[in-house]
Amino acid sequence: MSPLRQYLRLCWLKGNLVEMPESMPLFRNAIIFYFVVGILIQANISDPVEALFETSIQTVLNLVFIALLLCLKKSFKLYLKTATAFLVAADFIYVFGIPVMLWFTLVGDELVIYLFGLLLMWWLFIITYIIRQALSCSTLLSTMMAFLYIMIVYVGTFALLVIV
C-alpha cells in the first residue's frame, strides 16, 4: 500500500500513526499542496500578497506546534509522521471543502454552512485521533490539544496579521 493511502486511513480514523512509514516525498508533496491550496483559498477572500503571507504563517505555526507538542511528550522521533498526518488531514479536508466553498459562493444556500461545519468537525476528529496516537494520551486530552492547535495556528495567524 502506498504511503499516501496509509496516511489517508487516518482520515477515516483507522490505522496507527506509529506504524505509518516515514516518507519525506509524501511530506514534501503534502506541504506543497497545503501551501498552494491555502493560498488559493485565502486569495479568494483577500488580496494575493496577504494570502501568501497568511498561508506562510499558518504553515510555520502548524509545523512549530507539532514540534512543541512532541517535544513536551519527548516523542520527537514521530515528528515526520505526525507532521505528514496533520498535513494530509488538512489536504483531505481541503479536497472536500473547496467544492463546498464554491457552492456557497455560487448559491449561498444555508445547507452549505452545515456541510462546512460537518467538515470542520470531521477535521477536528481526525486531528484528535492523530494527537491521541502521537502522544499516547486520552481522548479528552487529545481533544483539548486539537482545540489548542486550531487556536494557535488559525486564530494565531489572524492575530499576527492584525498586529502586523
Cβ-based neighbours of 86, under 8 Å, separated by 6 or more: 62, 66, 127, 130
Where do runs of H (alpha helix) occur along 11-109?
24-45, 48-72, 79-106
Closest CA to 123 of 99, 155, 89: 89
pLDDT tens for the chain, 164 residues long, are 799 999 999 999 999 999 999 999 999 999 999 999 999 888 877 888 888 999 999 999 999 999 999 998 888 899 999 999 999 999 999 999 888 887 877 777 788 889 989 999 999 999 999 999 999 999 999 999 999 999 999 888 888 888 87
pLDDT of residue 97: 87
pLDDT of residue 147: 95
Task: Tell me the residue type at 41.
Answer: I
Instruction: For residue 127, give the C-alpha cell.
Output: 486531528
Enter the pTM of the model.
Answer: 0.91
Residues in the chain: 164
Cβ-based neighbours of 161, under 8 Å, separated by 6 or more: 50, 53, 54, 57
pLDDT of residue 141: 96
Give exposure, 36-55, as e/b (b: 16+ Cβ within 10 Å): ebbbebbbeeeeeeebebbb
Task: Tell me the residue type at 150.
Answer: I
Alpha carbon 18 to its chain centroid, in Å, reads: 18
